[in-house]
């Protein structure tokens, strides 16, 4: 998913570098590729393939990185890449409820009561 040159450009921006305390992020590349897989396919978190990691761990880490602004730094670094410079949302991805298909609404006509008109 990520080319080696793209990975080299963002690797130092990610938490868990050798200079950071602890060894919590030895699999940063696999994690980033899992997030890219989810973005590309549009599948739910729970449908993440097991070879890309446990879905809940990927979700929690993704959320933390979002809070810390890691994804903003990565986007700023890669903004000049030809593959990542535009994002299109196709109408095949946007889902609508079946009742929003444009059929006319059925409304009941309000009738005056016969007893009320007798006065």
Tell me the pLDDT of the chain (119 aa) as tens digits.
778 888 888 888 888 766 666 556 668 888 889 998 998 888 899 999 999 989 998 999 899 889 988 888 888 877 765 555 455 555 555 566 666 666 666 666 666 665 565 55
Is position 96 within any domain? no
| Residue pointed to by tokens 């006065």 | 119
Is position 101 within any domain? no
Is position 115 within any domain? no
Tell me the C-alpha to C-alpha distance, in Å, between residue 24 and each of 17, 18, 19, 55, 60: 9, 10, 12, 17, 13
The dihedral region occupied by 69, where left means phi > 0, alpha psi between -120 and 50, and beta the remainder, is: left
Please report, in angstroms and rounded to a whole number, the separation of the first and last CA atoms in the chain: 80
Is position 37 within any domain? yes
Is position 55 within any domain? yes
Is position 48 within any domain? yes
Is position 73 within any domain? yes
What is the number of domains present in the chain?
1
User: What is the extent of the structural domain holding 79?
Assistant: 4-91
CB distance 29 to 20 below 8 Å? no
């Amino acid at each position: 998913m990520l080319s080696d040159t793209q990975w080299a450009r963002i690797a130092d921006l990610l938490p868990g570098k050798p200079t950071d305390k602890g060894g919590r992020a030895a699999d940063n590349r696999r994690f980033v590729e899992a997030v890219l897989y989810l973005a590309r396919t549009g599948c739910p978190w729970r449908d993440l393939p097991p070879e890309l990691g446990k879905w809940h761990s990927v979700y929690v880490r993704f959320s933390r990185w979002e809070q810390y602004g890691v994804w903003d730094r990565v986007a700023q670094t890669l903004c000049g890449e030809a593959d990542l410079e535009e994002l299109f949302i196709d109408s095949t991805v946007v889902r609508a409820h079946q009742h929003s298909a444009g059929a006319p609404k059925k409304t009941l006509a309000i009738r005056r009561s016969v007893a009320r008109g007798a006065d």
